Structure 1
Amino acid sequence: MFRPMILRKLYSSTSGIIRNGPFRRLRPIKDSGPEIVQAEKLFEDRIETSFIQPHHPVATTILNEPTIVIERQLEMMNVFLGFEQANKYAIMDVMGNRIGYMQERDFSIGKAILRQIYKLHRPFTVDVFDNWGNVILTIRRRFSWINSHIKAFLPPPAIIERDYLKQSNASEQQVYSSSFGNVPRPQFISETPGDGILVGESIQNWHLWRRRYELFQRDVDSESSFSQYGQIDAPFLSFEFPVMDQDNKIVAGVDRNWVGLGRELFTDTGVYIVRFDSKRSFENIYPPEMISNSVLNLDQRAVLLANAVSIDYDYFSRHSRHNGGLLSFGSYDE
């Protein structure tokens, strides 16, 4: 009975799931006239403040979408043995068409062992690919006991195009701006041509029971200057992670959705909806007065995509629960 489910690949179509499952509220976007035009104008006006430009592959394939769906791949050793494997994700539009995928780098037995030891604190590198297997964005997190930092990098070819790293100035003083109070600060790292361009980062702001993140964009005019554009402050056991702007209005968000009880009971598949566009992603979900007038630029969307990966690692992986393997089926998120 489970043979077709087990053999189901990461890259298969999920249009039926989206029609009948939790995505039914994501209807195809209708032309809303002046509102859509105004949103596109706001988006275009913010291009100059972004490292990622509209012609970059990550923009044309993923970040230009107002809403995307991320689905974690089936992990059989994770399910039956509680063994944390390298994560793989499919990226789809709201109609179920695959527009890319993400895969954690996993090159050695040693890294697989350290993954079990470090658990939620483990470092990782996740590459974002287009449908032809080209790396279009890289997401990195270093080891951290608390307040983990997850960073989004444009791949090296974009550096050559922009002629950005002519000379690294590691002695430049780091500057950051935030209208959200006393929050953790971004970590400055010296770039090399092999790293790519750091476009921003998301910082987990530890709290005993709330789920908090601080989202920063790197300023294009300074090597070590960051500006905070959003904050996530979700309640205990929350499945919704709205991004609030400095006016405490929703500018974007990440939601954790069930695919179906039977499927998630026997697999480790997680599905997330990433809402990039405040004007087009929240129809009939929140009252209009709760929605921000701002629209995320491409760098900010890349950071939110990285944040969605961090949410999956921090709260919905096998190691984010008390038990592993079959013993963890009683977890609240199954």
Structure 2
Amino acid sequence: MAGEEDAPSGICLHQDLDPARVQAKLKPLLSRARLIITRKVEWASIMFAYAQESRYIIKDPRTPRRKTVSPVGLIREKSNVILRQLLRTRRPFIAEFTDAKGNEIFTVRRPFRWINSSIYAEVDGKEVGVVHSRWHLWRRNYDLYLGNRQFAVVENPGFWSWSFTLLDEDDNLVAIIDRKIRGVGLELFTGAAQYEVWFGDAGKGTDKGFCLAKDMDNDLRVFLPLDLPERAVALALAVSLDHDCFSRRLGWCSPPVAIELTHVLVSFRVLRLLGA
């Protein structure tokens, strides 16, 4: 499989889960060193502020150039239409991660949140891990668990930073989730976000067992990559970040767009008065 890398196999702590089956289901998607997750444009949200179910496309940027970069996976939200309109980004939902043919790989479940959010990664309906947010006035903090074991933490410095680094208990970098800028028009009017998830390739590391720098091919080198269930939890975090930090109410009459249009009209009026 193009772009596929070896990843260590982890032990799922849920007693009803078969580790071999979990590995077999997760490997086709999560054994890759990098993934790009792109949220599809929601036209009903843009035009009428009608909250639609979120859809994402997953691609592997390391696909050989001679081949077409086609999706390696999809993410489809399932939620109640009324709760979507009332609760917006706080709504409960289930999102299915599937391969390009629509075969389910795993799911994430996000209950209703008021302040702090939680999102659960599940295989065959059994919980594998969970991400909990920790409230802070401006920082974006998350704790990632596999079963009852915390394996990573995210402490993003604030609204100006769109890179989320996952650190283990020894402060070693184990993965990165980058929010990418796709263009002013897309960012302003569509909210079609894109995230690049770096799991890294196994490298020689340093005396501390890990290497920070990216190599000449712009690949992240880590001493010990996350195992497959941990990577599933990291992708659950990417979905949670999209709803917690980067989603907004769209529509031509929604606040962000209305403010921008008002600014343009006022600026135009001022220029006309100055030119008079």
Question: With structure 2 as the length reference, what TM-score do the two structures score?
Answer: 0.75
Give 1:260 shift. 2.2
Report what 1:234 is aligned to: 156
Q: 1:245 maps to which residue?
A: 168
Does structure 2 conserve the Cα–Cα contact (< 8 Å) formed by 1:70 and 1:89? yes
Is the 1:202–1:213 contact (alpha carbons within 8 Å) kept by the matching residues of 2? yes
TM-fit CA distance, 1:65: 0.5
Aligned to 2:240: 310
Q: CA deviation at 1:264?
A: 3.4
Kindly report which structure 2 residues correspond to 1:211-226, keeping only aligned pairs within 5 A, or say none. Answer: 211-218=140-147, 226=148
1:1-334 paired onto structure 2 within 5 Å: 40=6, 43-44=7-8, 46-48=9-11, 51=19, 56-60=24-28, 62-94=29-61, 95=63, 96-106=69-79, 111-155=80-124, 196-218=125-147, 226-237=148-159, 238-277=161-200, 279=202, 283-284=214-215, 293-319=223-249, 323-324=254-255, 326-327=257-258
The answer (yes or no) to whether the contact 2:94–2:109 under 8 Å persists in 1 is yes
Task: Return the structure number with greater strand share.
Answer: 2
Q: 1:319 to 1:78 in 2, by over 3 A?
A: same
Provide closer, same or farther for how the CA distance between residues 47 and 236 of structure 1 changes in structure 2, counting only shifts above 3 A: closer
Aligned 8 A contact 2:94 2:107 in 1: yes
Give the letter aligned to residue 99 of structure 1: V
Which whole-Å CA distance do the structure 1 matches of 2:176 and 2:152 have between them?
10
Displacement after TM superposition at 1:84 (Å):
2.1
Report the Cα offset of residue 115 of structure 1. Answer: 1.5
Secondary structure at 2:106's aligned position in 1?
A: strand
RMSD: 3.0
Once residues 154 and 247 of structure 2 are traced to their aligned partners in structure 1, the CA distance between those partners, rounded to angstroms, is 19
TM-fit CA distance, 1:150: 0.3
| SS of structure 1 residue aligned to 2:113 | coil
* Secondary structure in 2 matching 1:133: coil
Structure 1 residues 53-103: Cα deviation after superposition (integer angstroms, max 9, x where no partner): 57523321x100111000000101222233321100001001433101001
Inter-partner Cα distance in structure 2 for 1:117 and 1:65: 37
Amino acid at match of 1:201: V
Separation (CA, whole Å) in 2 of partners of 1:328 and 1:215: 37
Count of residue pairs the alignment pairs up: 235
Unaligned runs of 5+ in 2: 14-18, 64-68, 204-211, 262-276
* Runs of 4+ in structure 1 over 6 Å off: none
Distance of aligned partners of 1:63 and 1:127 in 2 relative to their CA distance in 1, 3 Å threshold: same
> How has the CA–CA distance of structure 1 residues 262 and 282 changed in structure 2, closer, same or farther, with 3 Å as cutoff?
farther
Is the Cα–Cα contact under 8 Å of residues 57 and 75 in structure 2 kept in the other structure?
yes
Matches of 1:329 and 1:151, distance apart in 2: 36
Task: State the percentage of identical aligned residues.
Answer: 32
> 1: CA distance between counterparts of 2:27 and 2:260?
38
Higher Cα radius of gyration? 2
TM normalised by structure 1 equals 0.63
Are 1:121 and 1:145, in contact at CA under 8 Å, matched by a contact in 2? Answer: yes
Letter in 2 for 1:203: H
The secondary structure found in structure 1 opposite 2:72 is: strand
The Cα shift of 1:145 comes to 1.5
C-alpha separation between the residues in 1 aligned to 2:228 and 2:259? 38
Separation in 1 of the partners of 2:259 and 2:121? 31
Q: 1:324 and 1:92, CA in 2 relative to 1: closer, same or farther beyond 3 A?
A: farther
| Runs (5+) with no aligned partner, structure 1 | 1-27, 30-35, 156-195, 219-225
Q: Distance in 1 between matches of 2:117 and 2:246?
A: 16
**CA shift for structure 1 position 136:** 1.3
